Amino acid sequence: MILVMGVFSLEIKPFSDRMLHLEAGELIGRSYVRGTIGNNELVATSGFIGKVETATVTQRFIDAFSPDLVILTSGAGGISTAVEPGQVVIGSEFQEYDVNLPLRSGKVAIQTSESIAYSHFRTYIRDAIVGKIITGDQIVSNTEERDELYETYNAVCLDMDSAAFAKTAMMNEIPFVVIKIILDMCDENAEKDFNYYFERFCKSGLPAHRVVEVLRSHIIV
């Protein structure tokens, strides 16, 4: 069983569209569909903003469906010159940038563990780059702040969910994969760019279509 999650319903629509449906339902106010793509069984859901909601929804669905793999696919803001809107990013490392841990030395980061799914997505999503994603409960739309975050964390992009998702999966000892698409560059044009590129990329089902194509052709758990 694979649990696939997106922030917005449009981000998981390709899974529902290509799925042989077995069940539809609702859990903690979030609609879900369960079915198969290729030889993979999965359940897909969406609807969370910020770290608390992300962790809560992820944990509740893990409890309900006992997945062998969890996948997060949604948008992110680029903070590195290595990316631009439309770039697909596969997360290799995750860190909360708005958490201070004065009693510990250094920063706490979560690595994506090696798994069949992680290997397959890196191999078969050929237009993706692999890199670090940082997470915080705020929208960054300032060039100076963005550049400071890049200098501090050397990440590719940031969002409001990946690190919480990764931590929840790790604590449940479940392999996980995060696949993002860049929608803005966390600068003064971020709101305008997000709206434009969300319409262009997320409404057309990127990067979910990339995941679906891998699921159709490969068993990944």
| Tens digits of pLDDT across the chain (221 residues) | 999 999 999 999 999 999 999 999 999 999 999 999 999 999 999 999 999 999 999 999 999 999 999 999 999 999 999 999 999 999 999 999 998 766 554 567 999 989 999 999 999 999 999 999 999 999 999 999 999 999 999 999 999 999 999 999 999 999 999 999 999 999 999 999 999 999 899 877 889 999 999 999 999 98
Helices vs. strands in the chain: H and E counts, helices first: 7, 10
Domain ranges of the chain: 2-207
Domain 2-207 has CATH 2.30.22.10: no
The span from the first CA to the last CA of the chain, in angstroms, equals 8
Given this model, what pLDDT does residue 143 score?
97
Cβ(116)–Cβ(220) under 8 Å? yes
pTM for this one? Answer: 0.95
Contacts of 103 by beta carbon, 8 Å cutoff, 6+ apart? none
Active site residues: 11, 184
**So what's the pLDDT on residue 107?**
63
Check residue 102 and give its pLDDT.
62
With 0-12 / 13-18 / 19 or more C-beta atoms within 10 angstroms meaning exposed / middle / buried, residue 144 is: exposed
- Cβ proximity of 43 and 67 under 8 Å: yes
The helix (run of H) or strand (run of E) holding residue 57 is: helix 51-65
- Picking from 80, 121, 132, 153, the residue whose alpha carbon sits closest to that of residue 220 is 121
Nearest to 1 by CA among 51, 70, 63, 58: 70
